[in-house]
Amino acid sequence: MDYTYRDIARMIDHSLLSPALTDEELERGCRIARDYGVASVCIKPYYLKRCAEILQGSDVLPSTTIGFPHGGHTTATKVAEAKQALDDGGIELDMVVNIGKVLSGDWAYVRDDIRAVVEITHERGGMVKVIFENCYLQDEHKIRLCEICAEVGADFVKTSTGFGSGGATIEDLKLMRKYSPPHVQVKAAGGIRTLDALLEVRAIGVTRVGATRTVEILEECKRRLGIV
C-alpha cells in the first residue's frame, strides 16, 4: 500500500448537506467525522456553529456552503453568507459559481463574484473551494474557471455540488488538474462512494473528496491496512 489510514481520512470532507437531514443526524454525523479523523465536515449553514463546537479540540475542520446549490445568489448575499459562516466557526467554504453567468460568458462578473468570497474568507484565515457544477458546462468553461480561480487565489476547484445532474468524472478531474496551477488543489464531489473510487481520483492528483459514505470508505481502508 502506498497510503496510510490518515492519508485517506485526511482526503475526506464528510458531507452533511442533504436537505432532509435532521438535527439528530447532523449531530451524529459530526461525531462520526471526529471519530474517524477526516479533513472536514461540510454541513448545512444553519448547523455550522454547533458543528464547530463538536469539532473543537480535534483537527477536523468545520466547513459549509456558499450560494448553494445553484450559485445564483447575488455577490453581496454570498459575501454575507461567508461572513456569517466565518463568524460561526467555519474554516473552509465551498462556494458555487454563478452557473448562468458562466454559460453567458460574463467572465468579469464570474471573476468578481469568486474574488469577493475569496477575499473576505482569506482575510479571516479561511479557505475557499470553488464549485463549478461541471454537468452543466463545456470544457471551455471549466478551463476558463480554472484560470480565474488561479488568478483570484482560490484554494480549491471542485467538480460538483452533488445535487446537479452529474457528479465528478475522471475526465473532468484530469482537465481541472491540468489547467490549475500546483497551488490550487482539486476536490472531487458526487459519486465517490468507495475506497477504490477515492484511490482512483487520488492517483490523478485529487487531494480532497466530498463523501457521504465516509464510514464505509474508512472501514474498508482499515480492513485493507489490517487495522483492528
The closest alpha carbon to 198, from 178, 172, 216, 183, belongs to: 216
DSSP 8-state secondary structure symbol assigned to residue 19: T
DSSP 8-state secondary structure symbol assigned to residue 73: S
The answer to whether 109 and 98 are in contact (CB under 8 A) is: yes
Question: Which residues carry out catalysis?
Answer: 94, 158, 187
Query: Please, which residues bridge with residue 41 across strands?
Result: 14, 62
The closest alpha carbon to 115, from 148, 88, 87, 142, belongs to: 148
The closest alpha carbon to 112, from 161, 158, 79, 69, belongs to: 79
The closest alpha carbon to 142, from 156, 125, 157, 124, belongs to: 157
**133: its cell numbers:** 457544477
Would you state the torsion angle of the CA atoms of residues 12, 17, 22, 23, taken in this order, to the nearest 10 degrees?
Answer: 70
Type of residue at 166: G
Measure CA of the first residue to CA of the last residue in the chain; give whole Å.
17
